Amino acid sequence: MSNIPVTVDRAGLWDAEALSDVAAATFPLACPPNATVDDIDIFISDVLSGERFGEYLTDPTRTVLKAVADDDIVGYAMLHVGVPADPEVAEAVNLHPVIEISKMYVLPGHHGSGVSKALMLAALQRARAVGAAGVWLGVNQDNIRAQRFYAKHGFTPVGTKTFHVGNQLHNDFVMRLVF
């Protein structure tokens, strides 16, 4: 773990490839032990490529935040405005308007260092600034570290959902934070 200074800013299109690299390095850490390398690779190439980040970075419903330490991107978060697409999740979340924290990933060398806290505080500040009633997210049911991190920031579980990784279906908790 490092404790070097970190800044959090909105990412731009020029960050797409660097964000994709961080995403590919950190996504496997959020997967349950039974996730296969092949399924994880499918997800990374379908959802976390530089091209996909280019789409996220130009999507008016999304904001990508980058955490930078020593001139390198060491973590990122993505906010997505809008009602959850799954009606059961929307019912469980039950907040209007609401923002999803759809990604929150930090390189392992920076876990426990304050980078994730800086990202979360920036994400919550942005969500409040646009008038959201609260935020929600999905987290794998085996990802105890992330669940503890979210609980420390005031999130509580309100339901469950599934999440496709390649050809596998993973089980998530739905957590929300009401402002």
Question: Applying CB under 6 A, which residues contact ligand COA?
Answer: 26, 29-30, 104-106, 111-112, 116-117, 139, 143-146, 148-149, 152
d(CA 67, CA 119): 7
For ligand COA, the closer CB: 4 or 13? 4
Token pair recorded at residue 160: 């469950």
Residue the block writes with tokens 């929150």: 104
For ligand COA, the closer CB: 62 or 117? 117
d(CA 163, CA 53): 19
Strands 156-165 and 62-69, bridge-based pairing: unpaired
Least distance (Å) from ligand COA to the CB of residue 141? Answer: 11
Residue whose Cβ sits closest to ligand COA: 116
Least distance (Å) from ligand COA to the CB of residue 68? Answer: 15
For ligand COA, the closer CB: 63 or 143? 143
Picking from 51, 55, 73, the residue whose alpha carbon sits closest to that of residue 119 is: 73
Least distance (Å) from ligand COA to the CB of residue 106? Answer: 4
d(CA 140, CA 173): 6
For ligand COA, the closer CB: 33 or 60? 33
